Structure 1
């Protein structure tokens, strides 16, 4: 397993299923899974959403034998080296990760693709945001990690890892973290549809919404409990506001322009007055819109078994009202009030 960190960024690329690099990546995955198999069997487990089981590690539930898994968390904790100039986008699954990746990539790289000749080559016109801005969980398998930014730009990564389980070098080096939080009810609904789309039908029957509601209410979901994941990043954002930006999906949807400018300021790439006059903020928003990204990603696979369109279902605020009973809604409200008691986490409206 290699975790080499070259001093420059590598050009945008995706791994094809039959490429030599893809084969090596799968071989590295096997090595990582084998390395931690003895630890895995000692961990508590629960029914999984996509995989058969979830495993409890350091207070959070994780999948196993996948690119984003308990094994990759362990490997990263032992080997990953952060840089002080890094930027990490942290989310729970189905909390707006794809949109946040697109926005951050577009903000940081906007001058690179600004003129007409190069804009047609903008990766977001042709590829998934997940190819443009990688998860550190998937980088652990690569001999040559891809960072997809210019050499004079920060390294951009995403992660679903809870704050307390992040590699120590990320916590200690003073790099920047952007956390995006979403209404737990919409997270549950989105995860329910996503899981059933990817669930192995040959070995696992589809999950009912009642199944997923019961698991979610107990805190059992990939990288959950939801409430503990949110609290971890929220608390550190209060302690280190210059390094950790806490955003909500609902606020980002409601006032996208001002929050995009806020993101740009935090990233160190603020929009100039001239750019604002030239409507550059709206150009970024349009490039990263749900409708545009869904059209670009309506076919093809991100990687084996995961179609690009799996990441684009509704993207709406409040879709949970089409799935929840009144009793379910009250249950989640009660748990949320208990878990967030004493914290000013205003993530959503009950309406």
Structure 2
């Protein structure tokens, strides 16, 4: 497999936050090439430069509210599904399942990323009514301090690393016009921790440890367990969000209706989710359909060799050793 060239990595000292603009700070961060877009290293995490800029801004200016819920994920770990589920659960008294916003709007249009608000200024979150559902790919350690200070709920979903890698590789090659990375090169970089919002395992571990220390504040979900038993996962999520299903709702099959509406099959068959773009930026086009590739558990075997699988399993096992986290 191709190794990243030493010349592609620049490792200056990370600057201290000062009165300089965030863009100036980002321009001075360690950078590395190799994926369709270069990444910068900020506080031990590899980020897209424009994300790093927004994260710095949020750290300085975001005002959390005590009743905020943060939906946090590593990229390509069930983010779209989690957004749909959380929105449907918390708004089930407002919308009928037969005339629901998810039938006409993409989940990412309903709940934008905190650091990447689609077509909006970052200040849009200040205008949202409480309680707010906010999504992010930020590692726990990069969240604005006001999130911890106010004790906001955090729901985190983690996915088997091999499947997350394959999904991310496909996604990156699909959205970048005229740019792509071969599987071997991308895999080697993923194993080194060089990946958007990576290292992947550090991202998972931060939220895992916080969920152990503060289970009332952080709910740690596993994609594979949710896929295996979606109804019970939806009930667990509703309880954590402070809006558990009533006995009448359970008898009436409401949890099952939530699962059906938010299922990959349902959402991927809606024209609104498969045609058009969420947004574009220079040579990067975020097609709506790119968020509904397969969603299959174990799909990595169709793309990676057994040797690659064993290598990544070993790395993850070593990284998670002693934490109690198994993926």
Q: 2:316 aligns with which of 309, 319, 336?
A: 336
Where does 1:9-158 land on structure 2 (aligned, <5 Å)? 35-47=21-33, 49-51=35-37, 53-65=38-50, 69-114=51-96, 119-139=97-117, 142=121, 145=124, 151=129, 154-158=131-135
* Residue 159 of structure 1 pairs with residue 147 of structure 2: no
* TM-score using structure 2 length: 0.88
Are the equivalent residues in 2 in contact too, given 1:134–1:156 (CA < 8 A)?
no
Where does 1:227-242 land on structure 2 (aligned, <5 Å)? 227-242=201-216
Aligned equivalents of 1:234, 1:299: Cα separation in 2: 36
**Structure 2 unaligned spans of 5+:** 1-19
The SS at the match of 1:286 is: helix
- The corresponding residue for 1:4 is none
* TM-score using structure 1 length: 0.82
- The corresponding residue for 2:275 is 299
1:200 to partner: Cα distance: 3.2
Where does 1:167-186 land on structure 2 (aligned, <5 Å)? 167-186=144-163
Are the equivalent residues in 2 in contact too, given 1:134–1:146 (CA < 8 A)?
no
- The corresponding residue for 1:320 is 300
Where does 1:163-312 land on structure 2 (aligned, <5 Å)? 163-201=140-178, 204=179, 206-296=180-270, 297-304=273-280, 305-312=285-292
Aligned equivalents of 1:144, 1:36: Cα separation in 2: 16
Aligned equivalents of 2:123, 2:324: Cα separation in 1: 42
Are the equivalent residues in 1 in contact too, given 2:115–2:122 (CA < 8 A)?
no
RMSD, aligned CA: 1.8
Q: Deviations over 1:174-220 (max 9, x none)?
A: 0100000000000100001000001131xx3x211101101100001
Aligned equivalents of 1:131, 1:48: Cα separation in 2: 30
Aligned equivalents of 1:92, 1:50: Cα separation in 2: 18
The SS at the match of 1:136 is: coil
User: CA 1:127/1:228 → structure 2, altered by over 3 Å: closer, same or farther?
Assistant: same
1:121 to partner: Cα distance: 3.9
Count how many residue pairs are aligned between Structure 1 and Structure 2: 301
1:46 to partner: Cα distance: 1.5
Q: Deviations over 1:81-120 (max 9, x none)?
A: 1001000010000000000000000000011013xxxx55
Aligned equivalents of 1:125, 1:146: Cα separation in 2: 23
1:146 to partner: Cα distance: 5.3
Q: Deviations over 1:122-154 (max 9, x none)?
A: 2100111111112111249527615897x5x52
Q: Deviations over 1:300-322 (max 9, x none)?
A: 21112211101000000000111
**Structure 1 unaligned spans of 5+:** 1-33
1:346 to partner: Cα distance: 2.3
